[in-house]
Amino acid sequence: MTAAIRTAATPRRVAAGWRRVLESIWFAVGFPLLLLVVWGIWATVAPQKFFPDPVTIIRAFVDTWIGPAFVEDVLPSLARLGVGIVLSIVVGVAAGTVIGLVRWMRELLEPTLEFFRAIPPPVLVPILMLIFGPQDATRVLVIVAGAVWPVLLNTIEGVRSTDSVMTETARSYALTFGERIRFLVLPAASPRIMAGVRQSLSVALILMVISEMFNNSEGLGYRITYFQTNYLIAQMWSGILLLGLVGVLLAAIFGFVERRVLAWYHGIKEVERA
């Protein structure tokens, strides 16, 4: 019975499989391709000064960024971004854990920290440049000064809302302080921490660009401004494209890390929903 069905169904299932693959390809790239084609046709039919066609932009992308410019402008920017993000996360989680665990400290510092979080980070750029001068370390500092707050405040919140039964269980099982942090507090806070990190990433990327648009002579942000002031339109678009790719890359890395770190959490949610 089952064998008969299986032999009968095989060809159709293969066809259905192909159809599904084609369908998902269509859903993945169909609409972007359609947009690009429309843009291309529009740009050739009615040439716009500021909207070159996609082919020109991609050609400019290859000419501009693949080569020495990658080492001179892109890599330093990305390095500063990376260092800034890592520092923000480390500082934010470390300080947030301490503040979150000690109640008087939390109550003492929370209003002040909320104020710092509320400051739109770009206004810190002129101040930090003033105090520390325009150098690499300052640009990293700018990124940290803006990106640390979401991680810090979310860590405080996450640590604070650790389940009290679990905290007491850990205490009565005589877990050492280090063990408690590692096996209870940090995992319990990790969904909140990751939510904070997600906010930090976009702030960090914005600040990387802004810190380079302020009196600077290298880096992605500077390059794009340079192209614009010199009316190199296609190159400018290629820079926007590159920043978009950096953003997508960051989001992809974050998604990958989040799925690994929070695998248990998503598992619980799934079970709860079912």
Partner 1 sequence: MTTARVAPPTRMRARRQTHRIRKVVLGVAGLLGFLATWQLIPALGIVDPRFLPPASEVLAQLGHQFVDLEFWRNVGRTLTTWGIGLLIATVAAVALGTVVGLVPYLRRLTHTTVEFLRPIPSVALIPLAILLFGFQVPAALLIVVYASFWQVFVQVLYGVADVDTVARDTARSFGLTRAERFRELVLPTALPYIMTGLRLAAAVALILTVTAELLIGIPGIGRVIVFARSAGDVTTVYVYVVVAGLLGLIVNLVFRVIERRALFWHQSVRGEDAA
* Nearer residue to partner 1 within complex by CB, 98 or 175: 98
Residue in 202, 198, 194, 195 with CA at minimum distance from that of residue 81: 202
Q: Tell me if 202 sits within 8 A of 84, measured CB to CB.
A: no
Is 54 a residue that touches partner 1 (CB under 8 A)? no
Residue from 148, 156, 209, 234 binding partner 1 (CB under 8 A) = 209
By CB under 8 A, how many residues form the interface with partner 1?
54
Is 142 a residue that touches partner 1 (CB under 8 A)? no
Residue from 40, 43, 116, 166 binding partner 1 (CB under 8 A) = 116
* Nearer residue to partner 1 within complex by CB, 138 or 187: 138
Q: Tell me if 211 sits within 8 A of 203, measured CB to CB.
A: no
Is 273 a residue that touches partner 1 (CB under 8 A)? no
Is 219 a residue that touches partner 1 (CB under 8 A)? no
Q: Report, in this order, helix, strand and coil percent for the chain, each rounded to 5.
A: 85, 0, 15
User: Cα–Cα distances in Å, from 50 out to 120, 178, 228?
Assistant: 30, 58, 10
Task: Label each residue of 92-134 as H, E or C.
Answer: HHHHHHHHHHCHHHHHHHHHHHHHHHHCCHHHHHHHHHHHHCC
Is 112 a residue that touches partner 1 (CB under 8 A)? yes
User: Which H/E stretch holds residue 272?
Assistant: helix 263-273
Residue from 142, 151, 159, 250 binding partner 1 (CB under 8 A) = 250
Is 46 a residue that touches partner 1 (CB under 8 A)? no
Residue from 9, 16, 21, 28 binding partner 1 (CB under 8 A) = 28
The residue ranges of DSSP E strands in 15-107, in sequence order, are none
Stretch that binds partner 1, among 159-167, 174-182, 218-226, 258-266 (CB under 8 A): 218-226
Q: Tell me if 151 sits within 8 A of 88, measured CB to CB.
A: yes
Side-chain-side CA neighbours of 186 within 13 Å: the count stands at: 13
Is 177 a residue that touches partner 1 (CB under 8 A)? no
Side-chain-side CA neighbours of 164 within 13 Å: the count stands at: 0
Is 134 a residue that touches partner 1 (CB under 8 A)? no
Q: Which residues bind partner 1 (CB under 8 A)?
A: 27-32, 35, 50, 104, 107-112, 114-127, 130-131, 202-203, 205-206, 209-210, 213, 221, 224-225, 227-228, 233, 236-237, 239-240, 243-244, 247-248, 250-251
